[in-house]
Amino acid sequence: MITEARRRAAGLAVALLPVLVAGLPGRPSFATPPGGDPTAAEVVNSLDVDSLPARYVVLVDRSASTSGDRFSTAVESVREIVGSMAAADHLTLIAFNDKLVQLFDGQVDEGASAAVDRLGALLPEHKTDIRAALAQAVETLESAPADQPANVLLITDGKEYGPSGFRRSGVWSQVCARGARLADQRVVNAYAVPMSDADGDKLLGQVFPGVITPELPPDQFAETLRRIKNRMGRHKASAYLTADNTRVRASVVGPIRITGRTASVPVLLTSESTYVPMSVDALGLTTGGLPLETTARPGPLILRPHQSTTVELTVRRTGWRHVGIGHPPEQDGALGVTATVATPWQSAAAELDAPLKPTLVTEPQPASVVLGPAVPASYLVVGVLGASVIGLAWFLIARARRTALSGTLLIREPGMAEPYRLILRGGRGRMRFPPRRRSRSLTGAGSVVARQVRRTLGTGTEPELRIAYRHRRRRGRGSCRAGQTETILQTDFTYYDR
């Protein structure tokens, strides 16, 4: 038959299990519901708060007043509670009367069940010192990681008869102040579970404000437990979100050496968050004075926690390239990364009293831009030789078309009564005019050559004069055929081939 003690233990365990359950840690689900950002409740569910590691400090009264069913009921309750914890949860189990006995301090899977057996083997005796037990709970949590939500469970028949050193003036107030600091720095949930009508909730409330005292029997406590569990879930989510590192580290995978007109620059993005999905938008580059143009990548790009990805950004070299032979010149500088970092959990986290501050962390990486040459040196040599050959061919062709001068060129400047007559002969005619004499004086100078060109009418060729003339520091050129007049710098040139 089931004893009365076991029935009471089962009832106490049923009352506490929804409050203290914490499952195995797992990878959160980061699916964002269609149509908008997730709500606070959806974030709590996505974090799977029941599987996140938590810290538990269980204080069990073993004073003489707990003899019999009270102590055995408490032991069986602790056994049920420990059996429901996750393997990664950290348990500190302490039995107390007027002395403290720490039975266990470690992860649940490292021997918590055996520690409960040792608890059951203890004999209830001596007086009660709740203050000393609570001071030990404060000291235990002060050395615990701040990102783990803590739960303190005090199981006692409540009345303190033992003379505690913590009753002295100032000592107990220091313990309470340390507990209040813990509650400000991390999530702390405290529960006073009575073995009888008396309880220790007043002392527990002095150390950890906001203490919760279950009202047994359990069948009347179901609704209260549901509210407590929901609040614990939100507290746990807030603790892990507050401690999360919502940063995205971005860097150019370098060093980079750009040799062409355009180039792809790889950018490595890494989310340093453990739980929160990150969003990267307007991803671009800073050129640091290098002759480059960049275009920001439209987003957003969603990164899962601890996810790394590489994004290719295109840069375009600006300005003219240096053209030359030999080692091409380079311009050195650094490429940095710019982006807007956010998270779709921003509103939900603020509702959970865990404001997130997404941050971009980046450092410029060395880069260089090759400025030339535009073509290889061998191409330049071939080009120069080709241009030389073409120039020589053009010169030879032009020389071949040259012909001897013949005939007469009449030259008339403005205001002259009669033109100056220049007799043409030889390969090039020089316009060397005599000193100024009345109306025949000319002030300009120049030269004239002749070449054979195709006739305008009929077949065959005819001579054409090419005239270069300078007058009053001005230069001009023109051409004319037999019987034609060409005006250069307001001076008329008329050609007669006889």
Helix (H) / strand (E) element for 301: namely strand 301-303
- Phi/psi for 305 (5° steps) reads -55, 135
Dist CA 276 CA 371 (whole Å): 44
Residues found in the chain: 498
Biggest CA pair distance of the chain: 154
Q: For the chain, what percentages of helix, strand and coil (3-state, to nearest 5) are there? A: 30, 35, 35
The total domain count for the chain is: 3
Other C-beta atoms lying within 10 Å of the C-beta of residue 379? 12
Residue 60 and residue 127 share a domain? yes
- Confirm whether 380 is domain-assigned: no
Residue 153 and residue 229 share a domain? yes
Under a CB-based contact definition with an 8 Å cutoff, are residues 470 and 448 in contact? no
Instruction: Look at the pTM and tell me if it is higher than 0.85.
Output: no
- Convert 168-185 to b/e letters by CB count within 10 Å (16 or more is b): eeeebeebbebbbebbee
Where a domain ends, among 187, 210, 243? 243
Residue keyed to tokens 């914490």: 22
List the chain pLDDT tens, one digit each, 498 residues.
334 444 444 444 444 444 444 332 333 333 344 456 899 888 988 887 767 778 889 999 999 988 888 888 889 888 887 887 778 889 999 999 989 999 999 998 899 999 999 999 999 998 888 989 999 999 999 999 887 888 888 888 876 666 677 776 678 889 999 999 998 888 788 888 777 655 567 888 889 887 666 654 434 434 544 565 566 678 778 888 988 999 999 999 988 998 888 899 999 999 999 999 999 999 999 998 899 988 888 878 999 999 999 999 999 988 766 666 656 688 899 999 999 999 999 999 999 888 999 999 999 999 999 886 655 656 667 777 888 888 787 777 766 667 888 888 888 888 888 888 888 888 787 776 655 544 456 778 888 988 888 887 778 888 888 899 988 888 999 999 888 899 988 889 998 887
Residue 262 and residue 222 share a domain? no
- Confirm whether 378 is domain-assigned: no
Where a domain ends, among 213, 243, 273? 243
Residue 413 and residue 366 share a domain? no
Domain that holds residue 294: 247-370
- Confirm whether 459 is domain-assigned: yes
Helix (H) / strand (E) element for 450: namely strand 445-454
Dist CA 302 CA 281 (whole Å): 9
Residue of 116, 65, 75, 107 lying closest to 88 (CA atoms): 107
- Confirm whether 377 is domain-assigned: no
Q: What is the CATH number of the domain that holds 357?
A: 2.60.40.10
What the block records as the tokens of 117 is 């057996």
Dist CA 247 CA 269 (whole Å): 10
Q: Count how many Cα atoms sit within 13 Å of the Cα of residue 378 in the half-sphere of its side chain.
A: 0
Dist CA 66 CA 128 (whole Å): 10
- Confirm whether 394 is domain-assigned: no
Dist CA 35 CA 53 (whole Å): 32
Dist CA 191 CA 213 (whole Å): 6
Residue 48 and residue 138 share a domain? yes
Q: What is the pLDDT of residue 225?
A: 45
- Confirm whether 431 is domain-assigned: yes
- Confirm whether 17 is domain-assigned: yes
Residue of 449, 422, 425, 424 lying closest to 433 (CA atoms): 422
Residue 452 and residue 334 share a domain? no
Q: What is the pLDDT of residue 115?
A: 95
Q: Which residue spans within 363-412 are E strands per DSSP?
A: 365-370, 402-403, 408-412
- Confirm whether 188 is domain-assigned: yes
Residue 92 and residue 68 share a domain? yes
Q: What is the pLDDT of residue 230?
A: 66
Query: What is residue 65's DSSP assignment?
Result: G
Q: What is the CATH number of the domain that holds 45?
A: 3.40.50.410
Residue 277 and residue 137 share a domain? no
- Phi/psi for 433 (5° steps) reads -90, 145
Residue 433 and residue 314 share a domain? no
Residue 454, beta-bridge partner list: 461
Dist CA 146 CA 65 (whole Å): 36
Residue 218 and residue 326 share a domain? no
Residue 263 and residue 189 share a domain? no
Q: What is the pLDDT of residue 457?
A: 79
- For the sheet containing 55-61, what is the strand order? 100-107, 90-96, 55-61, 150-156, 188-194
Dist CA 27 CA 8 (whole Å): 37
Residue 442 and residue 347 share a domain? no
Where a domain ends, among 243, 265, 292? 243
Within 8 A by CB and 6+ apart from 287, the residues are: 294, 315, 333, 335
Under a CB-based contact definition with an 8 Å cutoff, are residues 75 and 12 in contact? no
Q: What is the pLDDT of residue 400?
A: 64
